[in-house]
Structure formats: structure tokens, C-alpha cells
């Protein structure tokens, strides 16, 4: 059931918010011991919120489509009175006094909060194999990674523990778990969703966004969380529109760019054929698929890595005297960041400005771009390398290769499942649009979803 | 090739030798990719970071 279906059922009195919450709680109790998606389950609070949601609906107060819907948030969003660990030992006893802006907005929209989701330590990695709180398992196959860093969010949505979950994306951390867990993930434009109260990884690359069961569900969450917030210095006053695609929305005559360089290099054969199938489907729906050459994405990725290393090390520096509190992979990244000279960080930010300008020219040729989210389906837990296009590649660099650059540009990107590979694991495609064009990429995603692009529900669910 | 061990020591970083190997390799690869990009940067290109006095000065 999607958010929309649950919302319709609530208003038709076919189900109550308390029943939805009880079902979510039962599913969490059954599946979380296997998946380790939740670090904290706030079941009692959730049931109380659900009772309130029912009372409000009965009294004629309707807060919108999220009213009474079970959701959860990655454990880097501050939650008043509920522990927020950021997947780290550093914050193991941290109980915030405030809610993050995103949490405030979800509560105001009537969502029922089920708790805090496991993640890669400090959001700094793509496996969600957390050394302190245990690894998250992929609901499609527990021997495989759910992706990260929002791995708990991807697993919880795929296993239908909650209808939607909040994640964060600094170098792909919403889109990678969306691809590996077979759900929809939306990274909005930088500045669209407030970062206030989200523990930072890298200030100028961090984006907050939803993971959900369908494109329209992701749009419903974006409607609730988007908008200016003076407490986030990079929050934008750009007008917020209704992001939910119409029923029967069309992509006829829309120019969808097929990148002729970089994005189709060194792919798993199954991913490539699945993504090419989506292009064929888009064409059959009336879209104009246009080959387009994109700027130097390898350079963009390099710039992104320099910025992320330096900013993340700056954030973590006060905690680095307690080296024993960090896992070795994250500690190595912080140490790398401390050795990046200030001149390199500044020059990376200068290159970023050039690359943003250069990339902007793409939008005179096409309305959006489509390419794979990751070059492979989920690797096995513990794999250090993946073999792609006849070469072994570091798993972290491979998995972030097609997503990281978009964080440097700050552009909106929608990841959606587009097939199952030979191993039975999901594969994903992403749609990238110009800044502030979330409504456009959501429309493309919804039209494709309506046109049959997608995968069956996860068997674990 | 940069002497990352010496740079770490000069920066006052206490990194054990095993951990330093996990640091030096990736940094060396990043250095090789990044250095050519900055070679011809025009001095007029400003960093993509900033603050606006009318907002941040409040």
C-alpha cells in the first residue's frame, strides 16, 4: 500500500491511523531483528500520535496526505527527547532538546514517527555496516549491502516497516540505498529542504530528502518538508510548488538526455540493459530521447571528494582526540581530510563554480537527464572491490561514481527502481533535472512508473 | 609523491603507521586527479561558497 492508498483508506474510514501504526509496529517487531534498520523504535509515542491523528480526522481537521502515516527518520535528524546517534559512538548518549526542521514539518503534517534509522557511521560511507550498532541488512538478500549511508531508511521502506523515511545525501546517500533496496529516493535541489537540526557531514554537499515506495509518495513527503527556513543559512526562498504529479501525467515531447560520455562506462551488463529498457519505455510514452555530451564528470567527482574530505574533517575535528570511538574506514577518511590543504579546498570550490556553469549548458539541449543510479546492484557485505567492465574497482568509488557529481552541482535527482538483476537484486535509474525542477523529474518518474517501470514488492515484506 | 607521514607529523596528527597506509594511498590518487584540474584556473574564478551580509550579518 502506498501513502496515497493509505490516506484514501483513512478518509474512507476503511482503516484508522491506530491500525496503520499497529501494523507498522508488528512489522518492525518481526523484521527488525533480521534487518537492524531501526536503532530506536518509538512505538508508544507513535501509537499516541496515531490516536491523535484519528481524533483530528474525526473532528474534521485534516493535515494532508501524511496525516496518520507511519514514517521514520535517519538517526542524524535531531529528535527532541529521543536519542540521536548519527550512527556514532560520539553521540551514543545524545538526547537533543530540539527537533530538526524536517522532523518539525513531518510532525506538523500529521505523520506518525516510528523512530530512528540505522546508518553508516557519521553518514560517511556507502555500506551501512555500522561497527557500533551492527550492520543493516538488505531486505532482498541479507548477505548483500543495503547501501548507505541511509541504509536503514532504504531497508525500512523496502521491508514496508514504514511508508516513507527521511535520509540525507552528501555523495549519493539517499540514491544508493534507494537503488540497492529497490525503493524511490529523492535528493532535492540544494537549499530546497532545511538542513537545520540534521547533524552535518559536509555543509555544502548535504541534502535532505525522502525514500518512499512510489514516486508520488516521495512527492507527498517533499510537499511537507520543502521551503525556506531562516535557521539554515543556505535555505532558499525559491517558490515551493505542489510537487505531486497529476494522474495520467505525460512526458510527450519532453527532451530526455541520454549521456554519451561517462555515465554508461564500466556498467554491469544487467544494469545497462535495464536502463536502456527504461529509455525505450520513455520513447514509447512520447518522450524525445536525445544523446547529449555532459561535462567532465570525473573532474566533478574529484572536486566533490576534495570538498567532502575537508568539510567532513572540519566537522569531526573536535571529536578526533577520541580516535578509539571511530571505525577504521571513517577514521581514515577524517585523517585524509585533515591533510587536505586549505588551498585545495578553496580551489575545489572555484572549480565547482566553473563546473556548475558548464553543466548549466546541458539544459539548453535537454529538459532532464537519465542514467543509472549505481553501476551495479548491491555488492555482498564485506566486498572491497567490484568487477565492472573487465576491471576491479574499489567498491566505494564504484558505487558513488554516478551519484557524487550531482551533489557538487546541487541539482535535484530522483532514483527509482527499474529492474531486478540476475542475482534477484534491484537495479536503479536516476533522473536529474535543472535546479528547482523537482516537479519535472517527479513527473517523469511518475509517468515511467505509471508506464510499468518498477519492480515487484520486496519478498521480505 | 608527497611524504604524507611527514605532513601528518608536522600537522600534529598522531596516526599509527597502519592507519597511515589507509590515508596515504587514497590521498595520492586524489592528488593525481586533482592537481591537473587546478593548473590553469583563472584567478577571477571565485569559490562557490559565500555569505550575504544582508542575511548572515543579522
Distance of alpha carbon A148 from alpha carbon A176, whole angstroms: 6
Per the structure, the count of domains in chain B is 1
Has residue B55 got a pLDDT over 70? Answer: no
Amino acid B57: pLDDT: 59
DSSP A259-311: ESSSTTSS--HHHHHHHHHHHHHHHHTT-EEEEE----HHHHHHHHHHHHHHH
Distance of alpha carbon A373 from alpha carbon A264, whole angstroms: 11
Amino acid B14: pLDDT: 79
B19 compared with A437, residue with greater pLDDT: A437
- The answer to whether residue A458 sits within a structural domain is no
DSSP secondary structure letter of residue B46: P
The pTM (predicted TM-score) of the whole model is 0.97
Residue A278's domain comprises 3-450
**Residue A345: closest CA among chain B residues belongs to which residue?**
B47
Query: B34, B54, B56, B58: best mutation site toward chain A, by most A Cβ within 10 Å?
Result: B34
Residue B12's domain comprises 1-39
- The answer to whether residue B51 sits within a structural domain is no
- Residues comprising chain B, all counted: 58
Yes or no, beta carbons of A339 and B11 under 8 Å apart? yes
- Separation in Å, CA of A120 to nearest CA in chain B: 19
A16, A153, A173, A274: the catalytic one is A173
Is A149 among the catalytic positions?
yes
**Residue A336: closest CA among chain B residues belongs to which residue?**
B23
- Which residue in A130, A242, A207, A165 sits closest to A413, CA to CA? A207
Q: Which residues contact A144 (CB under 8 A, 6 or more apart)?
A: A138, A180, A377, A378, A379, A380, A381, A423, A425
- The answer to whether residue B33 sits within a structural domain is yes
- The answer to whether residue B49 sits within a structural domain is no
Helices within A296-437 (DSSP H only): 297-316, 328-338, 342-360, 395-400, 404-409
- The answer to whether residue A292 sits within a structural domain is yes
Would you call A360 helix, strand, or coil by DSSP? helix
- The answer to whether residue B53 sits within a structural domain is no
A149, A194, A214, A236: the catalytic one is A149
**Grid cell listed for A264:** 554508461
Q: Judge contact between A458 and A140, C-beta under 8 A.
A: yes
The CATH number of residue A129's host domain is 3.90.1300.10
- The answer to whether residue A456 sits within a structural domain is no
- The answer to whether residue A455 sits within a structural domain is no
Contacts B22 to A, Cβ<8 Å? 328, 332, 335
Amino acid B15: pLDDT: 80
Contacts B13 to A, Cβ<8 Å? 335, 338-339
Yes or no, beta carbons of B8 and A298 under 8 Å apart? no
* Average pLDDT for runs of 10 along chain A of length 461: 97 97 98 98 98 97 98 98 98 98 98 98 97 97 96 98 98 98 98 98 98 98 98 96 97 98 97 98 98 98 98 96 94 96 97 96 98 97 92 95 98 98 96 98 98 94 64
Distance of alpha carbon A70 from alpha carbon A391, whole angstroms: 43
- The answer to whether residue A457 sits within a structural domain is no
- The answer to whether residue B3 sits within a structural domain is yes
Yes or no, beta carbons of A335 and B55 under 8 Å apart? no
Per the structure, the count of domains in chain A is 1
- The answer to whether residue B56 sits within a structural domain is no
Has residue B58 got a pLDDT over 60? Answer: no
Q: Which residues contact A35 (CB under 8 A, 6 or more apart)?
A: A136, A137, A139, A142, A155, A156, A159, A460
DSSP secondary structure letter of residue A319: G
Amino acid at each position: 500500500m502506498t501513502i496515497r492508498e493509505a490516506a484514501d483508506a483513512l478518509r474512507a474510514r476503511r482503516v484508522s491511523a491506530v491500525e496503520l501504526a499497529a501494523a507498522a509496529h508488528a512489522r518492525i517487531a518481526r523484521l527488525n531483528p533480521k534487518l537492524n534498520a531501526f536503532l530506536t523504535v518509538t512505538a508508544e509515542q507513535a501509537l499516541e500520535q496515531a490516536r491523535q491523528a484519528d481524533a483530528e480526522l474525526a473532528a474534521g481537521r485534516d493535515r494532508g496526505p501524511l496525516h496518520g502515516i507511519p514514517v521514520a527518520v535517519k538517526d542524524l535528524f535531531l529528535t527532541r527527547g529521543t536519542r540521536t546517534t548519527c550512527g556514532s559512538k560520539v553521540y551514543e548518549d545524545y538526547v537533543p532538546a530540539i527537533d530538526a526542521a524536517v522532523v518539525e514539518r513531518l510532525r506538523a503534517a500529521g505523520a506518525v514517527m516510528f523512530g530512528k534509522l540505522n546508518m553508516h557511521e557519521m553518514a560517511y560511507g556507502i555500506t551501512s555496516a555500522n561497527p557500533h550498532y551492527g550492520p543493516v541488512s538488505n531486505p532482498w538478500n541479507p548477505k548483500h549491502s543495503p547501501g548507505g549511508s541511509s541504509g536503514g531508511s532504504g531497508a525500512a521502506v523496502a521491508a514496508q516497516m514504514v511508508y516513507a523515511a527521511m535520509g540525507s545525501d552528501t555523495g549519493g546517500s539517499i540514491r544508493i540505498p534507494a537503488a540497492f533496496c529497490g525503493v524511490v529516493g529523492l535528493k532535492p535541489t540544494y537549499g530546497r529542504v532545511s538542513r537545520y537540526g540534521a547533524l552535518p557531514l559536509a555543509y555544502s554537499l548535504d541534502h535532505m530528502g525522502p525514500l518512499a515506495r512510489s514516486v508520488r509518495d516521495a512527492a507527498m513527503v517533499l510537499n511537507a518538508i520543502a521551503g525556506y527556513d531562516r535557521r539554515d543559512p543556505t535555505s532558499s526562498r525559491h517558490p515551493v510548488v505542489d510537487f505531486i504529479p497529476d494522474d495520467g501525467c505525460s512526458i510527450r515531447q519532453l527532451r530526455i538526455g541520454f549521456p554519451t560520455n561517462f555515465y554508461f562506462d564500466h556498467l554491469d551488463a544487467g544494469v545497462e540493459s535495464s536502463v536502456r529498457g527504461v529509455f525505450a519505455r520513455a520513447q514509447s510514452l512520447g518522450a524525445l530521447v536525445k544523446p547529449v555530451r555532459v561535462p567532465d564528470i570525473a573532474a566533478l567527482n574529484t572536486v566533490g571528494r576534495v570538498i567532502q574530505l575537508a568539510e567532513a574533517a572540519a566537522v569531526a575535528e573536535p571529536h578526533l582526540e577520541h580516535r578509539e570511538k571511530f571505525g577504521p574506514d571513517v577514521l581514515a577518511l577524517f585523517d585524509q581530510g585533515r591533510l587536505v590543504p586549505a588551498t585545495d579546498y578553496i580551489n575545489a570550490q572555484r572549480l565547482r563554480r566553473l563546473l556548475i556553469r558548464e553543466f548549466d549548458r546541458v539544459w539548453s539541449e535537454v529538459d532532464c537527464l537519465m542514467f543509472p543510479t549505481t553501476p551495479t546492484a548491491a555488492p555482498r557485505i564485506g566486498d572491497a572491490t567490484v568487477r565492472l567492465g573487465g576491471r576491479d574497482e574499489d567498491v566505494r568509488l564504484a558505487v558513488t561514481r554516478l551519484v557524487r557529481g550531482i551533489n557538487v552541482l546541487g541539482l535535484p535527482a530522483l532514483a527509482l527502481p527499474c529492474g531486478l538483476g540476475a542475482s534477484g537484486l534491484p537495479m536503479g535509474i536516476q533522473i536529474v533535472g535543472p535546479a528547482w525542477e523537482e516537479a519535472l523529474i517527479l513527473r517523469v518518474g511518475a509517468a515511467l512508473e505509471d508506464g510499468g517501470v518498477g519492480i515487484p514488492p520486496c519478498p521480505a515484506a | 609523491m608527497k611524504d604524507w607521514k611527514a605532513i601528518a607529523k608536522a600537522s600534529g596528527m598522531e596516526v599509527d603507521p597502519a592507519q597511515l597506509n589507509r590515508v596515504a594511498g587514497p590521498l595520492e590518487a586524489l592528488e593525481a586527479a586533482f592537481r591537473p584540474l587546478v593548473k590553469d584556473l583563472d584567478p577571477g574564478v571565485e569559490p562557490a561558497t559565500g555569505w550575504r551580509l544582508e542575511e548572515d550579518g543579522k
